[in-house]
Amino acid sequence: MSGKGNAEMAAEARSAGMPPERPASSWPHPVSGVTTQISVERGTRARVARLILEHGPVTAAALGERLGLTPAAVRRHLDALLAEGMIEPRTARTRGQRGRGRPAKMFAITDAGRSAFVHAYDDLAGSALRFLAERMGEEAVSEFARAQVSGLVGRLAALMEEVPADQRVRVLAEALSAEGYAASATKTGKGGEQLCQHHCPVAHVAAAFPQLCEAETEAFALLLGTPVQRLATIANGDGVCTTHVSSHALAGRQARSTEVSSTSTSKETGR
């Protein structure tokens, strides 16, 4: 065994061009480093899933632009989400004649992926409504549903009166998004608009109790001041809750036409 001390051995190492040995206290902690990396990966993956939920179907390139990720990083997260059954691939629809090359692949959220965002108290809420229906009848559930959306109406009613008619759907979409519905507003070709909710925190409960969707639709019509029609709901198995909103101009013409027709009928009856 060598009788050299630590100082002598360190001097010989320096003279041989070897880097000095670092004390154990300065070594990187492998476990904490791995844990941090895993946490970052999961956080980014959750953001990818959330964007697909809110804006899907969407391409990998669009996801990369929104999140500032490299194509390789996006593919890694998409592959993981595909393996977990959170998303599914779709082929982009093309309008007109398609050029050469493969059609762009898009990614959409699955039912399992959407369920991951559902509130943990779904079962409790469903049990409570079933109890209410059994003890007090279906009308009690309808009253409860209207009471639930009355809060939204109360918060937005005054604001909607100040907002121009052509901006109300957008404002409502922003308010719904703030409450977790991932809503958006788009114009339609016939002068109306579509209000889309890409996420529904109460979808599982609403599947059993459609009164929740009915009360929400009534609230939309009240806030927007124009007729609305529910075209699709997540609770019914559709990918997005879609509500058609009639334009105020068209609604006004229909109201005047109905009024004229009613007046004419009254005059004929009074002859």
Domain boundaries defined on the chain: 39-91+105-117, 122-254
Domain with residues 39-91+105-117, CATH architecture: Orthogonal Bundle (1.10)
Which contacts (CB < 8 Å, 24+ apart) does range 168-177 have? 168/223, 168/224, 168/225, 169/193, 169/195, 169/224, 169/245, 172/220, 172/223, 172/224
Tens-digit pLDDT profile for residues 109-142: 888 887 776 554 577 788 899 999 999 999 999 9
What's the CATH number of domain 122-254, 3.30.420.40, 3.40.190.10, 3.90.1520.10, 3.40.50.720?
3.90.1520.10
Is it the case that residue 44 has pLDDT exceeding 70?
yes
Q: What percent of the chain has pLDDT over 90?
A: 44
Indicate the pLDDT class of residue 98, thresholds 50, 70 and 90.
Answer: low
At 5-41, the pLDDT tens digits run 545 544 444 444 444 444 434 444 444 444 455 556 6
Residue 188 has pLDDT above 70, yes or no: yes
Contact in structure between 217 and 243 (CB atoms under 8 Å): yes
